[in-house]
Amino acid sequence: MTFAERCGLHDAVREQACLDLARDIEASGTELVRFGWCDTHGLLRGKTLTAAAAIRALRDGVGMVGTLMLKDTADRTAWKVFEPGAAADLPGFAGAANLVLLPDPCSFVVLPGLVRTGWLRCQPWFAHGAPVPLDTRRVLQDALARLAQTGHGMKTGLEVEFHIYRITDTRPQLDPELAAWPGLPPAVEMIHPGYNLQSEAMSDLADEPLRIVQRTAQALGLPLQSLEIELGPSQVEAVFDATDALTAADQMVLFRNAVRQALRRAGYHATFMCRPPFPHIMSSGWHLHQSLVHTPSGRNAFVREAPAPGSTPADARHTLSDIGAHWLAGLLAHARAMTVLCTPTINGFARFRPNALAPQAVLWGQDNRGAMLRVVGAAGDSATRIENRVGEPAANPYLYMAAQIHAGLDGLAGALTPPPACEAPYAGEGEKIPATLAEGLAALQGDDALCAGLGADFVRYFCRIKQHEIDRYAAAEDKVDFERREYFSRT
């Protein structure tokens, strides 16, 4: 019996997919296949196998050290796995025991810019064939399964800001005399000076790296819609066509990893860190557009045919269906608790400042980019949706989307009603978004609905890893240097 069969994952359809992929790998002359999985922080990790070994691993998987799931943002293990009882709250992880990465044969892509190298998306399993519940992709899969019980799926669109710099000197990063844990980034300069939003002249100045982003995304089959010059120095934005939530999350993980590597090969440093460690920087956000799809019909469940009788644009039901209004109310009710899953770094919380196109308070607005939740559309508009603007581009996409689902489902279950829309989101009204990572963790731990949805074990696990990061930041003498090494080098 193969490992995939032991996991209850292998059937005739998967077997045929494995046979087809093996034939394609051999026919194409692929020499290496990267087996990648997404860690707690949204970063890809994995192993590179020869073609023959990769074909065997389609059914038998490949081992990985379990502590890879226990790392903080500096790659330090948050549990003392070699001390008796220290990992008692994490069955299966004591002693740095092995997990097994099992790939999805349908996820294979050829990596652009590399010689005969492919990539497969994997998920970790325990060696005895049970799924690992702490795997963040599984967290989203479980959330979507809960949502499916209501007769709905989730559709999301990605709108991601990030920074690209030209590398001027690799010595700070690669000089062995300067090696540290974590190490320094390369020395860089900007690709455009900023403060000229969507300037065509700036697009020309940044054309080379933007072309690399475009070609990489399209070569991977990602539904890139546009590339734009953002307001900040060296800041850009990528917008993708909307798709189902799991596919969108997979695409975000692959996009970030692929463009960082492609740009690095061409002499550029891309970072999805919210606020790179330079003066006069503009924060990057990840704006998540979302709607529910009525599964039997495929229609947008947020659309209403006509405004509710007696409603005004300040009323959610003027634009949103009853389901959409309940979902919006759920997002508001659990906004403080979900923030840490949407903005999971110390650096990201500095984005929440007034008049910066970033939210400060738990509010919604009708097409208002200063509000945390922006309702876009109108009665009868099939593209009606809710945009959550609280996220940072370094967020783990599986956790970001799972948080929306569990919060929205609570709104549906309780038939919650949202308050009126806000027209002045920076006027000091409304409950404040958590101001620090520590405050965000406390809000998550105190939210019964999100803890139940995500699972108490997962919340405890996530909070311990993030607390490890907070403790090291508190002990750091140079906070800017901490963020430079911790986030700018690696995120």
Q: 478 pairs with which residues across the strands?
A: none
- CATH number of the domain where residue 462 is located: 3.30.590.10
CA distance 302 to 324: 4
> Are 162 and 209 within 8 A, CB to CB?
no
In a domain, 139, yes or no: no
Burial of 399 (0-12, 13-18, 19+ CB in 10 A): buried
Note whether 241 and 384 are same-domain residues.
yes
Backbone torsion region of residue 222, taken as left when φ is above 0, otherwise alpha when ψ lies between -120 and 50, otherwise beta: beta
Rounded to the nearest 10 degrees, the angle between the axes of helix 322-333 and helix 397-413 is: 120
In a domain, 208, yes or no: yes
Domain boundary among 132, 160, 187: 132
Q: From first to last of its 491 residues, what are the pLDDT tens digits of the chain? A: 999 999 999 999 999 999 999 999 999 999 999 999 999 999 999 999 999 999 999 999 999 999 999 999 999 999 998 988 878 888 888 888 899 999 999 999 999 999 999 999 999 999 999 999 999 999 999 999 999 999 999 999 899 999 999 999 999 999 999 999 999 999 999 999 999 989 888 899 999 999 999 999 999 999 999 999 999 999 999 999 999 999 999 999 999 999 999 999 999 999 999 999 999 999 999 999 999 999 999 999 999 999 999 999 999 999 999 999 999 999 999 999 999 999 999 999 999 988 888 999 999 999 899 999 999 999 999 999 999 999 999 999 999 999 999 999 999 999 999 999 998 999 878 899 999 999 999 999 999 999 999 999 999 999 999 999 999 999 999 999 999 999 999 98
Note whether 96 and 167 are same-domain residues.
no
Note whether 330 and 454 are same-domain residues.
yes
Note whether 197 and 336 are same-domain residues.
yes
Domain that includes residue 83, residue range: 3-132
> Are 245 and 292 within 8 A, CB to CB?
no
CA distance 372 to 335: 9
Note whether 210 and 282 are same-domain residues.
yes
CA distance 194 to 281: 9
Q: What does the pLDDT read at residue 224?
A: 98
- CATH number of the domain where residue 100 is located: 3.10.20.70
In a domain, 137, yes or no: no
Note whether 109 and 173 are same-domain residues.
no
* Phi, psi dihedral angles at 124 (to 5 degrees): -85, 145
Note whether 223 and 181 are same-domain residues.
yes
CA distance 221 to 251: 9
Q: What does the pLDDT read at residue 469?
A: 96
Q: What does the pLDDT read at residue 434?
A: 97
Domain boundary among 112, 132, 152: 132
Give every CB contact of residue 82 below 8 A, 6+ residues apart in sequence.
95, 96
> Are 221 and 255 within 8 A, CB to CB?
no
CA distance 458 to 134: 6
Evaluate if pTM is beyond 0.85.
Answer: yes
Domain boundary among 132, 160, 182: 132
